């Protein structure tokens, strides 16, 4: 090694040791007869000291070192005069006796400090410099730790990590495929896997029994902060299991990860049916760090000549505790919030249950104090509370109320990112009707089995059939999902028919799986976790990009390597592709 120690490990115990350190110049300052340089590497920062009185030439040379120069410094560990208790190496400095510039550097386009002056775009363009910053590096370290702990746990549970191919045929996970043209089979394309779904099922037919893979998946979708065109899953599958076995095994994984990575003992995961999640929270991934459940008020508000409520399909209220003193301005803000085109509510009704027992409402023309108190009781509102009510079409009202509930949770500080509430959401509908396509779609994917007790409804009332599926939700984020699969060829065929595939189409796309099911497919089921999302949750950040070494931007571009890009005419010709 070019060094004896790293920049993060020397302390008071090393006084008078002769050491050699290597790293980057973070900053340098001249104070009278002394020059100090902060030398940085992955492990920390150590102060180098040069004394003008002791060695003029060396000190003058040190003064020439620019930011991000790569330096090898030899010297003696000394106790510092002014210590810095915030740094692990803050008690010592290195009195340098010799140094060598291993490489010069241009002035970096932004400061390589915990709080940088670099904007997003610039940091992405020079991501290798951004990665030198300790908050970014510690995210990557967290990702590594989570991967290791995942492997440790699954290995102990006898899961085999098996790699599946990246050049495959389209998998129907509901998103658009990325495709890759084949030179050797002109006019034909591979698809990049949206997930290894069909392969992991084939591995079960192959008798692998327990499979996992930390694997890249690709979906050509519109991007958001928590979506990337390529993302990583912890993908798992097990044979000879029922739903309960999967829930236990992967609850175990999450508990292990929380304990090992964050030192947190998770309580037993709560469970909620999809129907209840929609009823009480208006979404299938409720944030249960706070209560504020929906209360159905339709029956309590009817018949008072308030048309908006009388004509609404749904009237839903939530109680914001201790908010009865909300000002006009605050209420206007909330009204604007729910009226945004994305939510599309027509308005917001409020009832203030004052601490002094008074009741004030935006609809007191129609509801006297007694009527409002009855409504308040129904919601469990106490004096000092604010009741917020939305009305309209059921679907839309629930969606808008979900957003309003989350907004109130945020405003009231009820969504502490250091508090974790994990939940299994169970019994999703198997199918979703698309008005546009006029056909059923699989809510999860077409290999998901119906709950055994709902099987008889499959033909008579497909919309009522519940899936043997489950999602894991942490703090309102869906971190994983899976299902017990169909392992019977007949049922799988029936499923494809319900989904509008002709026999020929099904055979064409999924013949390989259906054929495999002819050769003794075991009962099986599995789950996949969004690994990037788990990392960002563990790290307390909204954006998965912060936990990916080289992420893409919102337009799916890697601005550092400038991809995607044009390819040469020669390449196009080889592929027999013409760009129109
Ligand atoms: N392949 C599924 C997904 O990516 C997960 C699973 O069913 O195991 O969502």
Chain segment 236-257, per-residue pLDDT in tens: 999 999 999 999 999 999 999 9
Cβ-based neighbour number of residue 573 at 10 Å: 10
Cα angle: 477, vertex 397, 475; to 5 degrees: 15
Split at pLDDT 50, 70, 90, the class of 226 is confident
* C-alpha to C-alpha distance for 21 and 74, rounded to whole angstroms: 7
553, 504 contact by CB (below 8 A): no
Give the CA diameter of the chain: 93
* C-alpha to C-alpha distance for 363 and 369, rounded to whole angstroms: 11
Q: Cis check for the bond before 564: say yes or no (omega within 30 of 0).
A: yes
Pocket perturbation via mutation, ligand 1, pick of 170, 199, 528 by most ligand atoms within 8 A of CB: 528
pLDDT given for residue 172 in this prediction:
67
Residue 214 has pLDDT above 90, yes or no: yes
Pocket perturbation via mutation, ligand 1, pick of 197, 425, 532 by most ligand atoms within 8 A of CB: 197
Residue 574 has pLDDT above 70, yes or no: yes
User: How confident is the model over 478-496, as pLDDT tens digits?
Assistant: 999 999 999 998 999 999 9
DSSP tag of 258: I
Average confidence score pLDDT of the chain = 95
Nearest CA to ligand 1 atom 1: 197
pLDDT given for residue 227 in this prediction:
87
Residue 79 has pLDDT above 70, yes or no: yes
Pocket perturbation via mutation, ligand 1, pick of 174, 202, 249, 445 by most ligand atoms within 8 A of CB: 445
Nearest CA to ligand 1 atom 3: 528
Q: What is the end-to-end Cα distance of the chain in Å, rounded?
A: 55
Q: State which ligand 1 atom lies nearest to the alpha carbon of 236.
A: 8
Nearest CA to ligand 1 atom 6: 482
Residue 327 has pLDDT above 70, yes or no: yes
Residue 171 has pLDDT above 90, yes or no: no
Pocket perturbation via mutation, ligand 1, pick of 203, 250, 428, 444 by most ligand atoms within 8 A of CB: 444
How much of the chain exceeds pLDDT 70, in percent?
99
Q: State which ligand 1 atom lies nearest to the alpha carbon of 237.
A: 8
* C-alpha to C-alpha distance for 452 and 365, rounded to whole angstroms: 52
Nearest CA to ligand 1 atom 4: 195
- The residues near 310 (Cβ < 8 Å, ≥ 6 apart) are 302, 303, 304
Enumerate the β-bridge partners of residue 168: 191
Radius of gyration of the chain (CA): 30
Residue 350: exposure state from Cβ atoms within 10 A (0-12, 13-18, ≥19): buried
Beta strand 44-51 with 34-41 is antiparallel
Q: Across residues 262-268, what is the average pLDDT?
A: 95
What three-state secondary structure class fits 123? Answer: helix
pLDDT given for residue 225 in this prediction:
67
* C-alpha to C-alpha distance for 419 and 264, rounded to whole angstroms: 10
* C-alpha to C-alpha distance for 2 and 21, rounded to whole angstroms: 8
Cα angle: 297, vertex 301, 302; to 5 degrees: 115
**Half-sphere exposure of 50 toward its Cβ, with a 13 Å CA cutoff?**
24
* C-alpha to C-alpha distance for 57 and 315, rounded to whole angstroms: 80
DSSP assignment string, 201-224: HHHHHTT--EEEEEEEEE------
**234 Cα: distance to centroid of ligand 1 (angstroms):** 10
Nearest CA to ligand 1 atom 7: 482
**257 Cα: distance to centroid of ligand 1 (angstroms):** 20
pLDDT given for residue 509 in this prediction:
87
User: How confident is the model over 519-561, as pLDDT tens digits?
Assistant: 999 999 999 999 999 999 999 998 899 999 999 998 999 999 9
* C-alpha to C-alpha distance for 486 and 167, rounded to whole angstroms: 25
Predicted TM-score (pTM) of this structure: 0.94
pLDDT given for residue 542 in this prediction:
85
391, 309 contact by CB (below 8 A): yes
**237 Cα: distance to centroid of ligand 1 (angstroms):** 10
**482 Cα: distance to centroid of ligand 1 (angstroms):** 5
Q: Across residues 154-179, what is the average pLDDT?
A: 92
pLDDT given for residue 222 in this prediction:
84
pLDDT given for residue 580 in this prediction:
87
Q: Cis check for the bond before 144: say yes or no (omega within 30 of 0).
A: no
Nearest CA to ligand 1 atom 8: 527
**Which of 17-31, 386-400, 492-506 is predicted least confidently?**
492-506
Sheet of 349-353, strand order = 295-296, 314-320, 386-392, 349-353, 359-361
**297 Cα: distance to centroid of ligand 1 (angstroms):** 37
**550 Cα: distance to centroid of ligand 1 (angstroms):** 24
**259 Cα: distance to centroid of ligand 1 (angstroms):** 25
**336 Cα: distance to centroid of ligand 1 (angstroms):** 37
Tokens 């959401």 belong to residue: 425
Main-chain phi, psi angles of 155, to 5 degrees = -60, -45
pLDDT given for residue 32 in this prediction:
84
345, 396 contact by CB (below 8 A): yes
User: How confident is the model over 50-72, as pLDDT tens digits?
Assistant: 999 999 999 999 999 999 999 99
30, 49 contact by CB (below 8 A): no
Regarding predicted confidence, which is higher, 169 or 281? Answer: 281
292, 396 contact by CB (below 8 A): no
Split at pLDDT 50, 70, 90, the class of 332 is very high
What tokens were used for 303?
């018949």
Q: State which ligand 1 atom lies nearest to the alpha carbon of 485.
A: 7
- The residues near 561 (Cβ < 8 Å, ≥ 6 apart) are none
User: How confident is the model over 433-474, as pLDDT tens digits?
Assistant: 999 989 999 999 999 999 999 999 998 999 999 999 999 999
**196 Cα: distance to centroid of ligand 1 (angstroms):** 8
CA-wise closest residue to 527 among 114, 197, 231 = 197
Write 451-455 long-range contacts (CB < 8 A, 24+).
Answer: 451/427, 454/430
Q: What are the pocket residues of ligand 1 if the criterion is a CB atom closer than 6 Å to any ligand atom?
A: 173, 195, 197, 481-483, 526-528
């Amino acid at each position: 090694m070019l060094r004896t120690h790293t920049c993060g490990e020397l302390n008071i115990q090393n006084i008078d040791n002769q050491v050699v350190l290597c790293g980057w110049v973070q900053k340098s300052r001249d104070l009278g007869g002394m020059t100090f340089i902060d030398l940085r590497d992955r492990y920390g920062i150590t102060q180098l000291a040069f004394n003008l009185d002791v060695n003029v030439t060396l000190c003058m040379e040190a003064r020439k070192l620019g930011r991000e120069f790569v330096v090898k410094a030899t010297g003696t560990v000394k106790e510092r005069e002014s210590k810095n208790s915030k740094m692990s190496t803050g008690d010592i400095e290195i009195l340098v006796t010799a140094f060598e510039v291993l490489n010069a550097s241009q002035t970096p386009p932004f400061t390589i400090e915990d709080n940088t002056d670099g904007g997003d775009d610039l940091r992405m363009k020079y991501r290798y410099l951004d990665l030198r910053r300790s908050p970014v590096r510690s995210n990557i370290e967290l990702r590594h730790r989570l991967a290791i702990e995942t492997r440790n746990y699954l290995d102990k549970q006898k899961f085999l990590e098996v790699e599946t191919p990246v050049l495959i045929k389209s998998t129907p996970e509901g998103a658009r495929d990325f495709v890759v043209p084949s030179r050797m089979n002109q006019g034909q394309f591979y698809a990049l896997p949206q997930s290894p779904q069909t392969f992991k099922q084939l591995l079960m037919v192959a008798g692998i029994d327990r499979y996992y893979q930390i694997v890249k998946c690709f979906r050509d979708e519109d991007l958001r902060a928590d979506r990337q065109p390529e993302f990583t899953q912890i993908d798992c599958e097990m044979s000879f299991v029922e739903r309960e076995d999967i829930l236990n095994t992967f609850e175990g994984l999450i508990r292990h990860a929380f304990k090992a990575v964050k030192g947190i003992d998770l309580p037993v995961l709560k469970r909620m049916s999809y129907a209840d999640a929609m009823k009480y929270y208006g979404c299938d991934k409720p944030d249960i760090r706070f209560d504020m459940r929906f209360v159905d008020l339709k029956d309590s508000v009817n018949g008072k000549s308030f048309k908006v409520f009388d004509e609404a399909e749904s009237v839903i209220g939530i109680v914001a505790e201790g908010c009865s003193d909300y000002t006009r301005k605050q209420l206007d803000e909330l009204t604007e919030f729910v009226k945004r085109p994305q939510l599309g509510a027509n308005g917001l009704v409020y009832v203030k249950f004052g601490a002094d027992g008074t009741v004030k409402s935006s609809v007191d023309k129609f509801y006297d104090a007694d009527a409002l108190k009855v409504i308040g009781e129904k919601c469990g509102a106490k004096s000092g509370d604010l009741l917020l009510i939305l009305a309209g079409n059921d679907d839309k009202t629930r969606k808008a109320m979900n957003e309003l509930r989350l907004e109130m949770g945020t405003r009231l500080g009820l969504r502490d990112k250091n508090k974790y509430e994990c939940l299994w959401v169970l019994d999703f509908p198997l199918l979703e009707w698309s008005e546009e396509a006029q056909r059923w779609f699989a809510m999860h994917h077409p290999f998901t089995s119906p709950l055994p007790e709902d099987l008889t409804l499959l033909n008579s009332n497909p919309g009522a059939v519940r899936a043997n599926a489950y999602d894991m939700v942490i703090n309102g984020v869906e971190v994983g999902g899976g299902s017990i699969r169909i392992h019977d060829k007949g049922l799988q065929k029936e499923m494809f028919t319900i989904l509008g595939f002709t026999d020929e189409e099904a055979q064409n796309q999924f013949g390989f799986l259906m054929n495999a099911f002819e050769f003794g497919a075991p009962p099986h089921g599995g789950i996949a976790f969004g690994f990037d999302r788990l990392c960002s949750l563990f790290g307390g950040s909204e954006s998965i990009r912060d936990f990916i070494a080289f992420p893409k931007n919102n337009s799916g571009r890697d601005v550092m390597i400038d991809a995607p890009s044009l390819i040469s005419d020669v390449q196009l010709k080889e592929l027999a592709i013409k760009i129109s």
